[in-house]
Chain A
């Protein structure tokens, strides 16, 4: 089975985020990141692949393959914030595959040593995204000699490896944005953005991510780096961009401010979005009645989902609810309300399996065999679209396949953040 990158996540890997009681901005970050854990869990990934800018390597890129790193880390800077216990499982297999595939094209090492000093960025990210260590992780170092091109190349090769691995993967970057710190002690309560110029750049960059414009973000990163000191030259972004292969699509970017006085440098962003390539993807839901012709339940292109014409059928019995046939198989009665309800339930199932739902439907086309059924159909329809009212067209048609009285097709967008 082909592997998948289910989502990309960006988190600031500073222990301040674990002390939300000390600063409102830290608390905002904590709440935001904590919410990501359940979203990641819902995606049911096999592994989290984590790139940490605080694990700096010299001899190329390193991959952690120690099966069970555990211990208590004390950060070299922020030891006053408390111990950082860690105990997580490593996906040794995928780490070794990364090292092998990368090793063919650039320097790399697989790292398997007891008491290896796991970095703060990795520990903080795991504490927030995978608190109970239910998911295995594969940690990737930040090569000190990598530039944007090398980091992107690293991401691209890792993406290929993920796809060939058959694994369902969430990729995570533990990195700051701008990295201009206060150089004197401050009261944590008073922590704030220290550089308005950095803040403006951070916001501009986040805005590009929010609109899904990764290409523009990448081109702006050059100027961004000239204006603000960036965490490892923003290589985590270039890795993530290469890693999920996106070019343009919608994403979700929660901007979170008040980051230890450095314009997001010790704070930053949370970025969570489904990361699918802009390519055609056919969707057939095993929970919906199987297609009766040569078609798929739906086709997705990026975040758009196009649902085929769907009709009423019980997925278990394959019968049309309310339909009455005589001994010769001739239609003698039907229930438009039951058919409408069944049709919409089937569509809802397909939408869910496509990563969307009725709340994200853009357009509805309904085909009625009898326009006299409009009122009853409309009443049932209103039960499903009580608040959200997509654009809709209802047409009377001369005939429909089989014995159905109604068929509906829809266009929807995928839900953000899974």
Chain B
């Protein structure tokens, strides 16, 4: 088996509003559009994903929260309707995914080698979280590329942020090794919003963009700061400022997806490409892409 590699990393936030606004055939709820800047950003990502021809897309979602360890879906086919428990009026989505279960097993092995608790989720009736589905749909609405959903261990919340980040660095390394062993071209996806304080009320209709704006100026300033660091490839500075960003902007990256992805990519100095920034009920969302250099891929 040829040595596998990570061909790209994406920061791919998962507001269900984006699927709702797009009106894909899979979603039962229809809209009048909205959140175009983010959706156009995802259009660029879709083109990039097609061009990269990955064998598998791995996604780390904060809406599959696990308490004991890091879990990997290991059911070959998952199919069903996902109704978002938070925004059920926007997202009632029929999904069908093929899972790279062999990669799941390798990820578990490598995670355990890092000293992490890891587990394969093998229950065929498992309810995939909407965060995973939204990010995957926005990157590949045809669902013709196998996937591997990864859970978000809850340690950054009830242990400490430091503990959580340490675990994600290890999990990222383990994921990269597993991809190498599997011999596949992989895309790793952090399904995370940046600043994450919402409005508690939404306009009617929800896609009324005249009401959409960032929840606070402070959140906006933080989002721009971390986006700029990522655009400039200043990963060390980004890592240094991340705890303050997480605490002050209530950033969803606390759940670990971004740190996992960066670790899997080997903390690349490559400049990240910003495909777009936009807010969704006040939260800050950036769609970004990292293409590691040949050197970094080695």
Interface residues of A (CB under 8 A from B): 55-60, 72-74, 76-77, 79-80, 83, 107, 111, 113-117, 119, 143, 145, 179-185, 229
B123 at the interface (CB under 8 A from A): yes
The 5 closest A-B pairs by CB, nearest first: A79-B123, A113-B88, A107-B200, A74-B125, A181-B67
Among the interface residues B121, B153, B154, B200, which one has the most CB atoms of the partner chain A within 10 A? B200
B117 and A184 form a contact (CB under 8 A) = yes
Complex formed: what's the CA distance from A129 to B291 in Å?
54
Among the interface residues A56, A59, A180, A182, which one has the most CB atoms of the partner chain B within 10 A? A59
B81 and A115 form a contact (CB under 8 A) = yes
Partner of B200, one of A115, A117, A145: A145
14 other A-B residue contacts (CB within 8 Å) besides A72-B125, A111-B88, A184-B68? A58-B86, A58-B281, A59-B87, A59-B200, A59-B201, A60-B200, A73-B127, A76-B126, A115-B83, A117-B127, A182-B68, A183-B153, A184-B117, A229-B158
Residues of A contacting B123 with CB < 8 Å?
74, 79-80
List 27 A–B pairs whose Cβ atoms lie within 8 Å, in order of A's numbering: A56-B86, A58-B281, A59-B202, A60-B201, A74-B126, A74-B127, A76-B64, A76-B65, A76-B151, A77-B67, A77-B68, A79-B123, A79-B126, A113-B83, A113-B88, A114-B83, A115-B92, A116-B83, A117-B85, A180-B158, A181-B154, A183-B67, A183-B69, A184-B117, A185-B69, A185-B119, A229-B158
Residues of A contacting B127 with CB < 8 Å?
73-74, 76, 117
Residues of A contacting B86 with CB < 8 Å?
56-59
A55 and B117 form a contact (CB under 8 A) = no
B273 at the interface (CB under 8 A from A): no
Q: How far is the CB of B136 from chain A (nearest CB, A)?
A: 17
Residues of A contacting B69 with CB < 8 Å?
183-185
Residues of B contacting A229 with CB < 8 Å?
158
Q: How far is the CB of B198 from chain A (nearest CB, A)?
A: 5
Q: How far is the CB of B71 from chain A (nearest CB, A)?
A: 8
Q: How large is the interface on B (under 10, 10 to 19, 20 to 34, 35 or more residues)?
A: 20 to 34
Residues of A contacting B85 with CB < 8 Å?
55-57, 116-117, 119
Q: How far is the CB of A175 from chain B (nearest CB, A)?
A: 15
Complex formed: what's the CA distance from A321 to B83 in Å?
68
A58 and B68 form a contact (CB under 8 A) = no
Per DSSP, chain A at the interface is loop
A79 and B89 form a contact (CB under 8 A) = no
Interface string of B6-35 (1 = CB under 8 A from A): 000000000000000000000000000000
Interface residues of B in 146-164 (CB under 8 A from A): 151, 153-155, 158-159
Complex formed: what's the CA distance from A119 to B154 in Å?
18
Residue of chain A at shortest CB distance from B129: A76
A183 and B117 form a contact (CB under 8 A) = yes
Residues of B contacting A113 with CB < 8 Å?
83, 88-89, 92
Interface string of B53-91 (1 = CB under 8 A from A): 000000000001111110000000000010101111100
Residues of A contacting B92 with CB < 8 Å?
113, 115
Among the interface residues A113, A145, A179, which one has the most CB atoms of the partner chain B within 10 A? A113
Partner of B83, one of A83, A117, A145, A179: A117
B158 and A181 form a contact (CB under 8 A) = yes
B159 and A183 form a contact (CB under 8 A) = yes
Q: How far is the CB of A128 from chain B (nearest CB, A)?
A: 21
Complex formed: what's the CA distance from A9 to B155 in Å?
30
Residues of B contacting A111 with CB < 8 Å?
88
Q: How far is the CB of A226 from chain B (nearest CB, A)?
A: 14
Q: How far is the CB of B261 from chain A (nearest CB, A)?
A: 21
Complex formed: what's the CA distance from A119 to B127 in Å?
11
Residue of chain A at shortest CB distance from B64: A76
A185 and B121 form a contact (CB under 8 A) = no
Residues of A contacting B68 with CB < 8 Å?
77, 181-185
Among the interface residues A76, A107, A117, which one has the most CB atoms of the partner chain B within 10 A? A76
Residue of chain B at shortest CB distance from A145: B200
Partner of A107, one of B81, B129, B201: B201
Residues of A contacting B281 with CB < 8 Å?
58-59
Residues of A contacting B202 with CB < 8 Å?
59
